[in-house]
Structure formats: C-alpha cells, structure tokens
Amino acid sequence: MQVQRDVIEQLQFEPILNAAEIGVAVKNGIVTLSGKVDSYFKKMAAERAVKKVAGVKAVAEDLQVGISPAFRKTDAEIAESVFNTLKWHTSIPDEKLKVKVENGVVTLEGEVEWEYQRNAAKIAVDSLSGVVRINNCITIKPLATASNVKQKISAALYRSATIDADKITVEILGNRVILSGKVRSFAEQEDAVSAAWSTPGVNFVENKLKVAEAEELVF
C-alpha cells in the first residue's frame, strides 16, 4: 500500500503526466501501470518516474499509447522525422543505422561501437510525434577482450557514488556480463547495469541483481 501511494505521488509530481490516466497496481514490489497516454514519450516518462520510488523491484508496463488526431502522423512522416533526428544528433553514427516504420512502430537496426550510442538513438526518437512504440534492435560491435571487461566494470562500480560495489559480483561468460548480488533500490540496480553497459566491448548484460527487502537494509 505504501509503495502504491508513493508511486501515485511520484506520477503526480511529473509535470508532463496526467496521473489520473494511469492505473497503479503493486504486488511484491512489482508495479503494474495501466491506462492510456497520448504519446510514447509519456509512456517512457511514467516508467522512469516509477523506477525512482523506493521499494520498487520491477515495472510491468501495460500502458497503451493512443495518439490524438492532432499529433497523428503517417509512417512516411514519422520515418522522415526519425532520419532527420538521427542525422543531426552528434553522438549517433546515423550512417550505420537503418529505420523501419510500420503503423507508428519504429524499428531501429544497425551496429554501433558503444551502448550510449544505441541508447541515444532510442532516446532521440522517444519524443517524436506519432511514435507508438520503439523496437531497438541496434547491436554493439565488440571492442575489448573479455580479460579487460571485468576489471573495467568493477572500477566503474566503485567510482559510482550511488552504488555499493562491495555487494555486487561481476562475472564474464564469453560475451555475456552477469551482475549478481543485492542492491538497496531499483534505481541502484539500474545504475549498476548502466555502469556495466558503459564499458567498451560489452554487448550483453544479464541482470541478476536483487533489491533487498527493507528489513535487510543496514544504514
């Protein structure tokens, strides 16, 4: 009940969202969002807002995107907007990417060298008018050897002010990075996964991190 109240208050705190449009259900720390919003950007904003709340272990999204007539675009118009957005974004190698749009669903494909480039491409498209969903199928070209990856990830975890690195185990299996252990919040879990993705050569992160129950936390 407390987590549900906190999530609702967090949604109300976000100026871009109309919390009355979003239903919130919580079971065992898993938050399910339902209802309808008028843009994909708002759907992602709701998810980000929920992840900030203490006690949230996972988010199950059942939010539907219903584009209002004023913002509805044809697939050709959306594709043109996507191409222009990627072209003018300095951190995205747009020449390496391919775009497909069908019924408002944007699919991004291609190969980049860094996770931040893959993520930046999706974020750039998030707020475009008419987009219903984004399938980010961009892959990452391995750059580093496995022997260096573990050391670099561990160093990144210890540098982070929001992560208790001593409670996180890093394991490398082929091209797969496995993170395990316990974290204090869903936000810390995301920060740890993000730190792993930020390491050169990482193209898959398996998140086995668990969010500790309140009674397990020691302050």
Domain coordinates of the chain in residue numbers?
2-66, 71-140, 146-213
Check residue 174 and give its pLDDT.
Answer: 72
Check residue 9 and give its pLDDT.
Answer: 93
Paired residues of 177 in beta bridges: 172, 205
Nearest to 122 by CA among 40, 20, 192, 206: 40
CATH architecture of 71-140: 2-Layer Sandwich (3.30)
Contact 134, 102 (CB under 8 A): no
Q: Report domain 146-213's class.
A: alpha beta
Contact 170, 181 (CB under 8 A): no
Check residue 35 and give its pLDDT.
Answer: 92
Contact 6, 92 (CB under 8 A): no
Distance CA 157, CA 147 (A): 17
Check residue 34 and give its pLDDT.
Answer: 92
- Evaluate whether 2-66 and 146-213 have a shared fold: yes
Question: According to the CATH classification, is domain 2-66 in 3.30.1340.30?
Answer: yes
Q: Which residues does the chain have with pLDDT short of 70?
A: 70-71, 142-147, 175, 214-219
Contacts of 53 (CB under 8 A, 6+ apart): 3, 6, 7, 10, 31, 186
Check residue 204 and give its pLDDT.
Answer: 83
Check residue 219 and give its pLDDT.
Answer: 46
Question: Is the pTM of the predicted complex or chain greater than 0.75?
Answer: no
Check residue 184 and give its pLDDT.
Answer: 87
